[in-house]
A and B are shown apart, each in its own frame.
Chain A
Amino acid sequence: DAGVIQSPRHEVTEMGQEVTLRCKPISGHNSLFWYRQTMMRGLELLIYFNNNVPIDDSGMPEDRFSAKMPNASFSTLKIQPSEPRDSAVYFCASTIGGGELFFGEGSRLTVL
């Protein structure tokens, strides 16, 4: 299996622009998580899906952030409009039946 695939790996954008991060979970996994990692705040859970349904989005910082999972093999995290404080590494992870999380390599976002 190719593992969890995230794109883009790096994105540099200007404040106010829309950013879309993409994730393909491991085939057969039924839960998908979006995390954000910064030096200041560490790893924060933004949102997670179970069987494509959002279960807990309490970690989404504000309305500028939205996430979708239209099917079992694809999820997006969108930031609109982006701000410099959104600069971070965004990780997607998937699992089946709880337990071990499999992480992607992350999307490093820089908002100028």
Chain B
Amino acid sequence: SQQGEEDPQALSIQEGENATMNCSYKTSINNLQWYRQNSGRGLVHLILIRSNEREKHSGRLRVTLDTSKKSSSLLITASRAADTASYFCATDALASGSRLTFGEGTQLTVNP
């Protein structure tokens, strides 16, 4: 089964609004990453947060990590139509030997 599970599965918002996606996982991790995938393309790394970090920012992205709840959230502020894509969380579990396990993704649609 997938280590990470995102919710919601799909999210539709208007340009300018904020988008929040959540990820839950099952085992202890070294780090958690978020990736973006445009339709028909490969995945692109967005941000990595380590298990000893609680929050990280990168441009319009804000990621939080709660290891006690085994959950993470990705916030995209002031969304744009170009943010339309699927977003995946991926976990690097302890003793996994650097293998990343991906969740099923959230399909974000930003309407102009």
Contacts and interface: CB of A to CB of B under 8 A. Distances in A.
B57 to A, nearest CB: 17
Contact of B92 (A35, A55, A98, A105): A98
Given A100-B45, A104-B42, A106-B42, A55 B97 contact: yes
B100 interface: yes
Interface stretch (B10-18, B66-74, B101-109): B101-109
Interface in A80-112: 91, 93, 95, 98-106
Q: What does DSSP make chain A's interface, helix, strand, loop or mixed?
A: strand
A55 B95 CA distance: 13
Interface residues of B, number: 23
A45 interface: yes
Interface in B83-109: 88, 90, 92, 97-105
B20 interface: no
B97 A103 contact: no
A48 B99 contact: yes
A28 interface: no
A42 interface: yes
A31 interface: yes
Main secondary structure of the interface of B (DSSP, over half): strand
Contacts of A50: 97-98
B99 A45 contact: yes
Nearest to B104: A42
Given A91-B42, A91-B43, A106-B42, A101 B100 contact: yes
22 contacts: A31-B98, A42-B102, A42-B103, A42-B105, A43-B43, A45-B99, A48-B98, A48-B99, A56-B99, A91-B42, A91-B43, A98-B30, A98-B98, A99-B31, A100-B33, A101-B90, A101-B100, A103-B43, A103-B44, A105-B41, A105-B42, A106-B41
Interface of A: 4, 31, 33, 35, 42-43, 45, 48, 50, 55-56, 91, 93, 95, 98-106
Interface of B: 2, 30-31, 33, 35, 41-45, 48, 88, 90, 92, 97-105
